[in-house]
């Protein structure tokens, strides 16, 4: 897909230095770009590359002044990084811009399908499913009975969405993710086995959520597992039954959240963190990677480690961790001297 520099500049509300009719067909790094590519310059470290790049156009700050002759066209904008991000979003949207229903696919007669929808081959759409406008459902996706999907949502291949799941608008769900599977509920018997507790709740995902690949979000035992508006989940994340994740919280890969834990809004959780069940995590909390959280956290706390400590305490303790071997040797030496005195 090709666009003229003029069309791109108009989209970014930028000014052109060069030939507005030059065609752009791809996006690349400034140091790796070729003819027909567009790139950007935001970090001054990369400034030398603008004089050697083979890109056909470079997005730069509006006050950029070249110190040497340039072999490329410029698009001047207020914020190059933001403009480039906007261009990436546009490119990604057009790349996946599909409509229509591919064959074979199975769509229930009771399902409601909106306008400009794409449903890929071998997709299954169950009874009473409601799909909004401009939704894209890629091949091999399963959507169970009574599920609903809001406008402009994208569901990539091989996603499984169980019955009664509610998904909002502008949601992105990447490949391999499972939403609405049974929560991990088992009651111990008198013997050595466990009786399964039926999981009859659902999952609610609000607007503008993005969920990475191979994540698993379990439905509630009773009620709902809730992912609030603007949440971003990385790959390989486990969200257990009845968990609630507050607005605009971001969680990195391989994190596990146990049942009924409530996480506030605007939190940041590092990769491989583990949270035990029935916790209450406040707003604006930051949890370091590989931290183990077994107690409630108040608003604005920053913790790290297992068990998690306030970051200031952890940094002080880390000084001792590094010197444990020396301290051990000193204690051994002192014990030996004491024994000699005796």
SS3 category, 12: helix
pLDDT reading at 118 higher than 90: yes
**Distance, CA of 148 to CA of 160 (rounded, Å):** 13
Catalytic site residue from 34, 49, 163, 241 = 241
Strand order in the sheet with 178-181: 106-107, 124-125, 142-143, 160-161, 178-181, 216-218, 238-239, 256-257, 274-275, 292-293
DSSP 89-106: HHHHHHHT---EE-SS-E
Q: Mean pLDDT of all residues in the chain?
A: 94
Radius of gyration of the chain (CA): 27
Number of alpha carbons in the 13 Å side-chain half-sphere of residue 109: 0
Q: DSSP secondary structure string, 165-177?
A: -EE-SS-EE-TT-
pLDDT at 95: 64
Residue 89 has pLDDT above 90, yes or no: no
Task: Give the pLDDT of residue 330.
Answer: 86
Domains within the chain, CATH numbers bracketed? 3-95 (3.40.1390.10), 100-314 (2.160.10.10)
Instruction: Reply yes or no on whether 174 is catalytic.
Output: no
pLDDT bracket for residue 120 (50, 70, 90): very high
Q: pLDDT value at position 171?
A: 98
The pLDDT value recorded for residue 148 is 98
pLDDT in tens, 28-51: 999 999 999 999 999 999 999 999
């Amino acid at each position: 897909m090709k666009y003229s520099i003029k069309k791109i500049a108009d989209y970014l509300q930028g000014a052109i230095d060069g030939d507005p009719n030059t065609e752009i067909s791809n996006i690349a790094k400034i140091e790796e770009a070729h003819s027909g590519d567009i790139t950007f310059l935001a970090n001054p470290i990369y400034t030398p590359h603008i004089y050697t790049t083979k890109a056909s156009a470079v997005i730069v700050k509006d006050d950029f002044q070249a110190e040497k002759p340039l072999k490329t066209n410029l698009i001047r904008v207020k914020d190059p990084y933001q403009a480039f991000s906007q261009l990436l979003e546009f490119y990604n949207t057009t790349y996946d811009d599909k409509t229509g229903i591919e064959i074979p696919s199975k769509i229930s007669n009771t399902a409601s399908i909106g306008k400009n929808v794409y449903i890929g081959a071998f997709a299954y759409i169950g009874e009473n499913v409601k799909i909004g406008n401009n939704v894209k459902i890629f091949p091999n996706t399963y959507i169970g009975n009574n599920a609903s999907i809001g406008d402009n949502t994208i569901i990539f291949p091989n996603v499984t969405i169980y019955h009664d799941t509610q998904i909002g608008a502008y949601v992105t769900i990447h490949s391999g993710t499972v939403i609405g599977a049974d929560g991990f509920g088992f009651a111990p018997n008198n013997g050595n086995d466990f009786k399964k507790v039926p999981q009859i709740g659902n999952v609610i995902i609000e607007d503008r959520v993005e969920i990475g690949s191979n994540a698993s979000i379990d439905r509630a035992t009773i009620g709902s597992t809730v992912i609030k508006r603007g949440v971003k989940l990385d790959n390989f994340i486990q969200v257990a039954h009845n968990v609630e994740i507050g607005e605009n919280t971001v969680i990195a890969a391989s994190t596990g959240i146990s049942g009924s834990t409530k996480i506030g809004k605007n939190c940041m959780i590092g990769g491989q963190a583990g949270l035990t069940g029935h916790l209450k995590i406040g707003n604006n909390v930051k949890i370091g990677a590989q931290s183990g959280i077994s107690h409630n956290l108040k608003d604005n706390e920053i913790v790290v480690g297992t068990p998690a400590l306030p970051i200031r305490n952890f940094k002080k303790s880390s000084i001792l961790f590094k010197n444990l071997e020396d301290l051990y040797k000193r204690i051994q030496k002192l014990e030996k001297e004491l024994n000699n005195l005796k």
